[in-house]
Amino acid sequence: MIEDILLETEMHMEDTIEATRRHFGQIRTGRASPALVEHILVDYYGTPTPLQQLATISTPDPRLIVIAPYDKTQMHAYEKALALSDLGLTPNSDGNVIRIVIPPLTEERRKELVKVVSKMAEESREAIRGHRRHANNRLRALEREKVISEDDFHRAQEQVQELHDEYIQRLNELLRAKEQEIMEV
């Protein structure tokens, strides 16, 4: 029973780390990355569809994203979705492929982005703390119901704390790497 709670808690914490990693990938760093555009929804024959399902996305150059749509007849829909996205980038099309030039970030914009990723990381820390609290509450309930002993409860609580500390450390490393990537000129 304790093992199930620990395993479930670890799975939730791992999911939180992966979600944060995906969100960090969507933050523009002045360097081209397919993750910047692959989540953008294109109105494809009336159905909102992620761009990554409709086109090949590549980065042949550190400042250039090239999108090669599978269906060239819908080129206008691709361009419209990219133009309306919150990235603030202008797509250029030649009828076959769409090119997006990533302009270099200003120092002020870099500092704003660091604040944004710091906020995201804090939200993820809160989620991890919430998973710890939930696990501890479940363990406390088992102890109150005399399903586990007091010693087992304290040992399990220590294991939950170790999991918490490990995932907070992983999150901090992820944040440091992203901050460094953003501040890199």
> What one-character-per-residue DSSP string does 65-127 give?
EEEEES-GGGHHHHHHHHHHSTT---EEE-SS-EEEE-PPPPHHHHHHHHHHHHHHHHHHHHH
Q: How confident is the model at residue 63 (pLDDT cuts 50, 70, 90)?
A: confident
Summarised one tens digit per residue, pLDDT across range 74-87 is 888 888 888 887 67
And the tokens for 19? 């979600």
Q: How far apart are CA 71 and CA 53, in angstroms?
A: 11
Domains of the chain and CATH, by start: 2-25+106-183 (1.10.132.20), 34-101 (3.30.1360.40)
Q: Which of 73, 125, 68 is nearest to 100 (CA)?
A: 68
Helix (H) or strand (E) holding 27: none
Q: How far apart are CA 177 and CA 116, in angstroms?
A: 14
> What values do phi and psi take at 106, rounded to 5?
-80, 165
> Higher-confidence residue: 33 or 125?
125
Tell me the residue type at 150: E
Q: Return the pLDDT at 104.
A: 80
Question: Residue 100's beta-bridge partner residues?
Answer: 65, 91
Helices 2-25 and 107-144 meet at what angle, rounded to 10?
170
- C-alpha R_g of the chain: 22
Summarised one tens digit per residue, pLDDT across range 113-172 is 899 899 999 999 999 999 999 999 999 999 999 999 999 999 999 999 999 999 999 999
Percentage of the chain exceeding pLDDT 70: 97
